[in-house]
Structure 1
Amino acid sequence: MSTPSPTPQPPDQAHALDDVALARPRRRVGQWVMNVIVFVIGAQALHFLITNPRFEWEVVREFIFAPAVLQGLGVSVVLTAVGMSLGTVLGTVLALMRLGRFATARAVAGFYVWLFRGTPVLIQLLFWYNLAYLVPRISLGVPFGPELISWDTNDLITPFIAAVLGLALNEAAYMAEIMRSGIQSVDAGQQDAARALGFTPWRAFWRIVFPQAMRTVLPPAGSQVIGMLKGTSLVSVIAMTDLLFSVQTIYNRNFKVVPLLLVAVCWYLAVFTVLTLLQRRLESHFGRGHGAAPAKDVEAEVAVKGARP
């Protein structure tokens, strides 16, 4: 007895069975459970922050714009800007030294990176602050010869200078590795093409290599800026009136430790948010022409292709 062959379906009906528009979405129970758990935990955390009287939010509102706090915030922002700028410039020079052909320059840059990355930044800050113990006077003159001019180290190395030196020199060691990896990510043929067009090596680097390297450099460099902002809290150990030192001075008088720490947290988060937005703008600027096509362009291309016979 032969098996009856299946009844052939019309082409329209066969295509209708495979129509994606008629497909039902799968029920993702795990995602719903996770959403509920996150919502419950978030609601509990928010309730804890609002209802716990020991946070003393009225004290936070009282001191959030206090002149001493704003002055400390300004010092932290200035230290971040100056330290990161100097660290980036010196780090770029160190990266070029490590990538150069001069063996002595490579050795010096490698030793610098090894030394400053291998020691805590807190120790470096204390070292620069106590430099007068090793060098009572800083002088300029002929090597192994007479001095031409000299300064008292305590007068020259103020707490602000010590903080800038400690933060900038430490940051330069990290930026050297970031810049080196960014430069190496650019195809070597880019420099050859630039030189074939008559570019000098220096101009080829700044006009061709550096803008392309920034696409790789910006994400880790942005993280370093944020780390620098938080690292400025360490300068309080050398009597710098940064944001943390300012709130510590206030709560040592009124004993409102938690509310004043919340004031510092709010300002750190505010500056962090601004820096994050700025980083995204820079990444978008240097990443033009290298990312995925915008969603609108993709949709337009799909529509054009679908309209073709």
Structure 2
Amino acid sequence: MTLDYIISISGPMLEGAKMTILLFFIAIIASIPLGFLLTLAVKSSFKPLSWLAQAYIYIMRGTPLLLQLLFICFGLPMIPVIGEYLVLDRFVAASLGFVLNYAAYFAEIFRGGLLAIDRGQYEAAQVLGLNKWQTTAKVILPQMFRIALPAVANESITLVKDTALLYAVAVPELLHFAQTAVNRDFTIVPFFVAGVIYLAMTLLLTAFFKWVERNFKFD
């Protein structure tokens, strides 16, 4: 295949990559705060809330993301009585599925970060006269985010690759345009081009998180 052919198929695929990038940012911006709230819920002294949060995390992490996407896109509208009110745009439904799924994973990452903080940090904060909220904001959270950052970076890279699941719910993203070109032209070159685009996105994301680790010490 010529360079002209690669250039010709790259245009539509880059358009599809815009959808991939949009989903990534929506999922990251919404799922990280939601994941942190789930972590707080799990650690809540109000047991029903803690049990509910743990059950949610178990279900979302224990079932395939693809199944969750299919349920939100095609299952919710089939629910008797209320189904007609649960019909969502495919991209909106997929974004909701990604946010709900990744929030559960980020919740576990943040919980692990909290568990890794030495108990002596809490005691030292008490000695310094810090109240509960000051201890959380100035001592615990900065350390938790620093500990959790590598795992958050890894999960974020996984999210970029998981966006390919949009193809399964008929949202025209990068992989959709690659498959269309393969079917039309009977060549696997579009798959290689798609792979290069995915690698470029993950490379940029990896570089960003390395920059964050170098420049923000969270203390």
TM over 0.5: yes
User: Which residue does the alignment assign to 2:115?
Assistant: 184
Taking the TM superposition and a 5 Å limit, the aligned residue runs for 1:27-46 are: none
Residue identity in the other structure for 2:183: N
User: Which residue does the alignment assign to 1:242?
Assistant: 173
Task: Render the CA deviation track for 1:145-167: whole Å, top value 9, x for unaligned.
Answer: xxxxxx7322xx11111111111
Taking the TM superposition and a 5 Å limit, the aligned residue runs for 1:90-239 are: 90-130=34-74, 131-134=76-79, 137=82, 152-154=85-87, 157-194=88-125, 197=128, 199-239=130-170
Q: Does 1:61 align with 2:7?
A: yes
User: Which residue does the alignment assign to 1:80?
Assistant: 24
Q: For residues 57 and 92 of structure 1, do their structure 2 counterparts lie closer, same or farther at Cα, with a shift above 3 Å needed? A: farther
Secondary structure of the structure 2 residue equivalent to 1:241:
coil
In structure 2, how many angstroms separate the alpha carbons of the residues matched to 1:266 and 1:57? 17
In structure 1, how many angstroms separate the alpha carbons of the residues matched to 2:81 and 2:190? 39
Per the TM alignment, residue 196 of structure 1 is displaced from its structure 2 partner at its CA by: 5.5
In structure 2, how many angstroms separate the alpha carbons of the residues matched to 1:206 and 1:60? 51
In structure 1, how many angstroms separate the alpha carbons of the residues matched to 2:42 and 2:218? 29
In structure 2, how many angstroms separate the alpha carbons of the residues matched to 1:135 and 1:250? 40
Per the TM alignment, residue 282 of structure 1 is displaced from its structure 2 partner at its CA by: 1.4
Per the TM alignment, residue 288 of structure 1 is displaced from its structure 2 partner at its CA by: 7.5
In structure 2, how many angstroms separate the alpha carbons of the residues matched to 1:171 and 1:57? 40
User: Which residue does the alignment assign to 2:214?
Assistant: 284
| Aligned Cα root-mean-square deviation (Å) | 2.2
Q: Which runs of 5 or more residues in structure 2 are unaligned?
A: none
In structure 2, how many angstroms separate the alpha carbons of the residues matched to 1:79 and 1:178? 21
Q: Are the counterparts in 1 of residues 9 and 181 from structure 2 also a CA contact under 8 Å? A: no
Q: Select 1:251's aligned residue among 156, 175, 182.
A: 182
Secondary structure of the structure 1 residue equivalent to 2:98:
helix
Secondary structure of the structure 2 residue equivalent to 1:240:
coil
The structure with the larger Rg is 1
Taking the TM superposition and a 5 Å limit, the aligned residue runs for 1:262-277 are: 262-277=192-207
In structure 1, how many angstroms separate the alpha carbons of the residues matched to 2:149 and 2:48? 29
Q: Which runs of 4+ in 1 moved over 6 A?
A: none
Using structure 1 for the length normalisation, give the TM-score: 0.65
Per the TM alignment, residue 116 of structure 1 is displaced from its structure 2 partner at its CA by: 0.7
Per the TM alignment, residue 207 of structure 1 is displaced from its structure 2 partner at its CA by: 2.7
